[in-house]
Structure 1
Amino acid sequence: MKKYNLAILAASTLLFVVGCDTDYINDPDSPVSAPSSQVFSNAQFDLAFELNDQWVAGRGTLQISQYWNSTDYTDESRYALRTSMVDDMWEEPYRILSDLKKVIDLNTDSESAPLMLQYGSNSDQISIARILMAYTFSKLVDTFGDVPYWSYGQIDNPDFQALRLEEGIASPGYTDAATIYEDMLSELAEAANTIDASGTTMPTGDNIYGGDNAKWIKFAHSLRLRLASHILDVNPTLANTVFTESDASAFTSNDDNALFMFGTTDIVGGPWHDAFTVSARRDFGPSLSFTDLLYNRVGPYTGAGMEDPRIESFFDKYVSPAPESIVADEVYGIPYGFGNSVARSVTNEGVPDAEIIKPDFSQPILTFAEIEFIRSEFNGWDQATYESGVTASMMYWGIDAVAITTYVATLPAASEETVLTQQYIGLYMDGLEAWNLYRRTGFPNTLTVPGDTFGDATFTTLVPGLDAIPSRVTYPQNEQLLNRTNWDAARSALTDGDAMTSKIFWDVD
């Protein structure tokens, strides 16, 4: 995991947030605009923090995907998402997108564009912003379905109405999710093709790749592979075309991983440091369905000769309070979906690993391991890329080389179930993408589902009409209040209306 000018980034991020003008690119007494590098830095930080914090992820996507569970208040594990959580899932991506569009505006406006050249060519800055915009829009689409959309490549498209408040569009129409996917794939291709691979762009504002253009090109092609895998069942022609176009230019090792490393202080530290240390929360532990999978008690690896060594890189064992300080003999999980009494009966549950809780945690954005599993799927469950994906994931989580070799040698052969279940394990800490995987494939088939029992308890959701793992998140209430006409049109296009049971277009499993 790499650090890129972290001290400079932390300072510039803080300066931008508090509105200090000492770092502006023009007259410090009469600044015209913030530097594009600071705006980009702010967008990256928010993307890594706000979309992975204790609300959007801790009580949302990390629980829906059953990596984590609630230790005490379990309404979210039965899909009763708080209004504020849903608001964040919608509003935070649009705030990030507004910053990324600002980077584009700064590099296209005739007055500001020449001033931005000190951070890289205008074209390269625009392209990198387009890539991260596609990533962010994909989060919105995969959560809600149809959403208001905008892209640089179709800047004059009257149907792409998001991010156009300055043009007087305060109530944007929604764009069909399949149309958004097609445009995101085009945006990524065009952006990758226009970047100077030998150049450097916004190095002090880029805490993912340190301004390395060649890495951004690989990221764009890798993101195309992820999106292509999503639509493989619903549009195989397009999916396979994208795979053919981008496979050779995508990630080739863990050195290519897109990671955002947070800072070492409370102000710029990661969301789990903020939750567990700054706020002293103890709300989350591992889900039993996940720990059982890692200990080979369920799933396709029950015949493997050893437990998954990543489990103790994912979680720390319970340690009893002093003076006894007894350490649990394994990582204990909390049964998922069975209510408060069952969750509270587990008193020795594990906690997220100390490496995750430390301030300078590196949030995975997209990894080589995931791309290898995608390659295996597109190539008919290829064995070599399956094993490579497992190896890459274990190396990323710091597993000893001998343990990796031993574990991989015990795995059953590549198949739909084994590859996709390993992909799920490898996606740990990216709850939304793991939920995407389950929705489109049905794997892993080890998740606890409504109707399952645990002792005398039955997994019953708190959402009327929902008797399965949700297919989407409902639109935020503000859309009903402030954008009613367009919300009405969007919900009428859904199979079950604006409900958690309505499926996103690529979900045909």
Structure 2
Amino acid sequence: MEKIVSRMVLPILCMLTMLSSCTKSFEEVNTNPDALSNAPATNMLGNVLRNSGEQFGGDIDGYGTFAGYIVKIQYMDYMGGLVPTNNTYGNRWAACYYNNTQLKDILDKTEASAEGFKNMRLVSRLWQCYMWQYLTDGWRDVPYTEALKGGESDGGILKAKYDKQEDIYPSVMASLKVIADEMAAGFGKDALGAGDFIYKGDMQKWQRFCNSLRLRMAIHISGVAPQLAKTTIEEIFNNPTRYPVIASNADNCYLYWQGSAPYYEPWYKTGYMDKRVNNFGMSDIFIAHLQETQDPRIASVANKAADGQYRGYQNGAASSPPKLTDISYIGDRYMNTPAGFTPFFKSCETYYIMAEAAMLGYSVGMSAQDAYEKAVRLSMEDNGISSAAADAYLAGKGKWNNTKERIWWDEWVALFKDNFEAWALYRRTGIPSTNYPSLNSIYGNAHNDQPFRLPYPNNEYLTNKANLDVPLTNVVDYAWGQQMWWDKRTGVK
């Protein structure tokens, strides 16, 4: 018996010794030696910019469909009926909050030595503002004042309330104004590092993006908050030294992709690498407008069909065309370039805003006609169109006619690929007026327009329903039923 006990005790002691050792080293064993416990700020910034480009630049037939540019010509659907899911639009919602959380982490980690990270903090705050603008222009009322406060030091708010768009807009614009003034006072000495995939550390170009984003938000609200819009736009355009803007294509806020695995331009990846290029065709209303106005940009935004003609297809059609090759595909510059670009702001947009502001009677230092023609020339240049062809267009069907509609129609063409902003233009102005209603959606004939907003993701219904119920009182069919605060169109549903 004694021998048996001794034989049992020894293994038990060994096991207890091993367990004690495992307990002490558990944290060490379960730590990934290849993972950084504290990532450099430039890496975090690069991750946010890349994620923004993938999530918001990867859209082809979502916003592109809403804006009247691109249609499905194969595997027909209507974006899942625009019901709550955590795919596509839910992922973009999550990306906005993920990006803002990452940017907040940069700000928190650099707060103790803020002066040594001045430029990094300026750009991080600026991109946060861009994320808020994207969120509210996509979903309208969103968690804002209580968002990003899940940590104990921030209040431990895990279920944030929803703020109204009419409160979010002035707040974000005020934040951008603070950033713009800080930039005007001087930049820091720190380098943004390799993570600045957009401007390669050029703070003056980030300054231009800041003021241009202010212009965009201001013109959006010109019909509902005219005084704030006017003072913002006039302040910027009348103080070009203090508040420079994106005024040339060299300053465009474009994310150019590496063009090799795994960082390919998202449209190229979807179309050519995933072999889905023939899923998408050009909208008939877009092609028709370009042909009617003899717009030379048609050669850049679209490819000819197999018979050598430009031809579009109806948005929301119930079935595919008999031959897919009878329809124009998206132009090679936009879809067949591995190292292509994702646009966040184009220089021509600055001058379309200036032209519209001049039509509204704002003091902007340039006539509406001159600003319009400058915008057109910048768009033509960006699309590789010759100066001679631009001159012919401006002397012909694109000639200035002293109307805001002339500005909006041309801006619609110029915004191609910045589909999200083009959708905002449509919701604000009704241009293109030839846009289709929501044909063949799961809601039948209940709606006579494209969606007003995006559906809240399913996760919000599951985890934040009490707060979500507040904005839902004004929403019908998940996406329709509530126009943007700045969308003053009538007769649409």
TM bucket (normalised to shorter chain) is: 0.7 to 0.9
Secondary structure in structure 2 of the residue aligned to 1:330: coil
- Tell me which stretches of 4 or more aligned residues in structure 1 moved more than 3 Å: 28-32, 77-82, 197-201, 343-347, 495-499
Correspondences of 1:50-129 after superposition (within 5 Å): 50-53=55-58, 57-76=59-78, 80=82, 83=85, 84-108=87-111, 110=112, 113=113, 121-129=116-124
Residue of structure 2 equivalent to 1:279: 274
**Residue type of the partner of 2:298?**
I
Quick one: which amino acid aligns to residue 132 of structure 1? W
Do 1:312 and 1:331's aligned partners in 2 also have CA atoms closer than 8 Å?
no
1:405 aligns with 2:407: no
Between stretches 418-427 and 465-474, larger displacement belongs to 465-474
Q: Report deviation, 1:165.
A: 2.1
Determine helix, strand or coil for the equivalent of 1:438: helix
Distance 1:82 1:175 in 2: 20
SS state of the match for residue 359, structure 2? coil
Q: Secondary structure at the match of 2:259?
A: coil
Give the secondary-structure state (helix, strand or coil) at the position aligned to 1:333.
coil
Match of 2:329 among 351, 376, 382: 351
Per-residue CA deviations over 1:76-109 (Å, capped at 9, x if unaligned) read 279546831231231121122222222212211x
Cα gap change, 1:278 to 1:194, in 2 (>3 Å): same
Following TM superposition, by how much is the alpha carbon of 1:216 offset from its aligned partner in structure 2, in angstroms?
Answer: 1.0
Which residue pairs with 1:337 in the alignment? 316
For the pair 1:364 / 2:343, whether they are aligned, the reply is yes
Q: Does 1:146 align with 2:141?
A: yes
Letter in structure 2 aligned against 1:462: I
Deviation string, structure 1 residues 254-304 (Cα, Å, up to 9, x no partner): 2221110001203011111211222111311111110111111xxxx4xxx
Instruction: Pick the structure with greater CA Rg.
Output: 2
- Give the Å deviation of 1:490: 2.1
Confirm whether residue 309 of structure 1 aligns to residue 275 of structure 2: no
1:496–1:502 contact (8 Å) kept in structure 2: yes
**Which residue of structure 1 aligns with residue 408 of structure 2?**
420
Shift of residue 309, structure 1, vs aligned partner: 1.0
Counterpart of 1:481, as a letter, is L
Q: Which amino acid is the alignment partner of residue 39 of structure 1?
A: M
Residue identity opposite 1:351 in structure 2:
Y
Secondary structure of 1:379's partner? helix
- Other-structure match for 1:270: 265
Q: Is the 8 A contact 1:376 1:383 kept in 2?
A: yes
* Conservation of the 8 A alpha-carbon contact between 1:266 and 1:274: no
AA aligned to 1:287 is S
- Change in 2 beyond 3 A, CA 1:466/1:122: same
* Cα distance, 1:495–1:277 mapped onto 2, change above 3 Å: closer
Structure 1, 391-400 or 438-447: larger mean CA deviation: 438-447
| Cα distance, 1:198–1:315 mapped onto 2, change above 3 Å | farther
Q: 5+ unaligned residues in a row in structure 2: which ranges?
A: 1-32, 361-367
Q: Which amino acid aligns with 2:123?
A: I
Does residue 175 in structure 1 map to residue 177 in structure 2?
Answer: no
**Cα distance change, pair 105–291 in 1 and its aligned pair in 2 (3 A):** same
**CA deviation map 1:222-260 (0-9, x unaligned):** 000000011000110111011012223222222221110
> C-alpha deviations, 1:9-40, integer Å up to 9, x for none?
xxxxxxxxxxxxxxxxxxx9895410100100
1:250 matches 2:253: no
- Structure 1 window deviating more from structure 2 (420-429 vs 238-247): it is 238-247
1:409 Cα deviation from its structure 2 partner? 1.7
* Alignment-derived partner of residue 428 in structure 2: 440
Given the alignment, which residue of 19, 22, 36 partners 2:41? 36
Deviation at 1:405, TM superposition (A): 1.6
C-alpha distance 204-240 of structure 1, shift in aligned 2 (>3 A): same
Alignment match, 1:453: none
TM-superposed deviation, 1:389 = 0.5
Question: When the two structures are superposed, what TM-score results if normalisation uses the length of structure 1?
Answer: 0.81
Q: 1:497 to 1:71 in 2, by over 3 A?
A: closer
Tell me the SS of whatever aligns to 2:255: strand
1:315 is displaced (CA, Å) by: 1.7
Unaligned runs of 5+ in 1: 1-27, 150-159, 302-306, 320-327, 451-458
Structure 1's 329 and 32: CA in aligned 2 closer, same or farther, altered over 3 A? closer
User: How many residues get paired?
Assistant: 434
Counterpart CA distance in 1 for 2:254 and 2:37 is 32
**What is residue 363 of structure 2 aligned with on the other side?**
none
Q: CA deviation at 1:350?
A: 1.8
The corresponding residue for 1:295 is: 291
What does residue 224 of structure 1 align with? Answer: 214
Counterpart mapping for 1:156-195 below 5 A: 160-167=145-152, 168-195=156-183
Change (3 A) 1:192 1:460: same
Aligned Cα root-mean-square deviation (Å): 2.2
Contact residue 266 and residue 278 of structure 1 kept, 8 A: no
